């Protein structure tokens, strides 16, 4: 995964880029790249210390139904959404970006409020229509 993708994912999680734009970007990727993005998001969620108590809120905010496969998986604290059928990938993306946003917001509030050296917490506003 390229650095540009990492920046886009962090911009989405931090609300610097609208989710609708992120979905459009994600849907324009090849299937292999989509699966790679989902693996990266799972890693980022772990690094941001996402926890099971974040799941219900991430489902609510993502706009996907609690009965959709990615939501059910996350409710059971199962990952591996990159192995789901193609038609589930965008739902997985929405859910994981939202989960990352929740966990990263908590991390920035608790540990980085006074400033930090994390490059992803010091991103400039993205240029419009950039990927």
Q: Tell me what pLDDT residue 49 has.
A: 93
Q: Can you give the pLDDT at residue 68?
A: 97
DSSP 63-117: T--TTSHHHHHHHTT---GGGS-GGGHHHHHHHHHHHHHHHHHHHHHHHSTT---
pTM of the full predicted structure?
A: 0.85
How big is the chain, counted in residues?
Answer: 131
Domain boundaries, the chain: 3-113
pLDDT at 108: 78
pLDDT by residue for the chain (131 residues), tens digit each?
A: 556 899 999 999 999 999 999 999 999 999 999 999 999 999 999 999 999 999 999 999 999 999 999 999 999 999 999 999 999 999 999 999 999 999 999 987 876 667 655 555 455 555 555 44
């Amino acid at each position: 995964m390229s650095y540009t993708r990492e920046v886009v994912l962090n911009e989405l999680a931090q609300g610097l880029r609208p989710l609708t734009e992120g979905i459009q970007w994600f849907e324009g990727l090849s299937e292999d790249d989509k699966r790679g993005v989902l693996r990266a998001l799972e890693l980022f969620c772990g690094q941001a210390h996402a926890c099971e108590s974040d799941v219900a809120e991430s489902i609510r905010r993502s706009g996907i139904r609690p009965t959709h496969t990615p939501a059910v998986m996350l409710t059971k604290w199962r990952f591996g959404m990159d192995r789901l059928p193609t038609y589930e990938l965008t739902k997985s993306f929405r859910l994981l970006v939202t989960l990352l946003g929740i966990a990263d917001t908590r991390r920035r509030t608790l540990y980085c409020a006074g400033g930090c050296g994390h490059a992803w917490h010091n991103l400039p506003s993205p240029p419009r229509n950039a990927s």
